[in-house]
Amino acid sequence: MIITTGTFTRDAQVEATRDGVPPIDLVDGDALCDLIKERRVRGPFTTRKVEDVVVDAAFWDEHI
């Protein structure tokens, strides 16, 4: 098993499942976060919801 907080390249994903060798489980950052939330892991991890504010650039183009 290999864990990263980032992502794996396509080549790494192919190599991890190559025929004739023991498979390697790849856990990327998104999957790691999902596992932490799913298993309710505590300690150094906390979860929080974040509100996202998006600015409509077209609005400013029309009103300036």
User: What's the distance, Cα to Cα, between the start and end of the chain in Å?
Assistant: 54
Q: Are 58 and 35 in contact (CB under 8 A)?
A: no
Q: Domain residue spans in the chain?
A: 2-63
- The token duo for 57 is 């650039």
What digits encode the pLDDT tens for the residues 4-55?
Answer: 999 999 999 999 999 998 999 999 999 999 999 899 888 888 888 899 999 9
Query: What is the three-class DSSP state of 11?
Result: helix
pTM over 0.85: no
C-alpha dihedral sign at 36, 40, 41, 47: positive
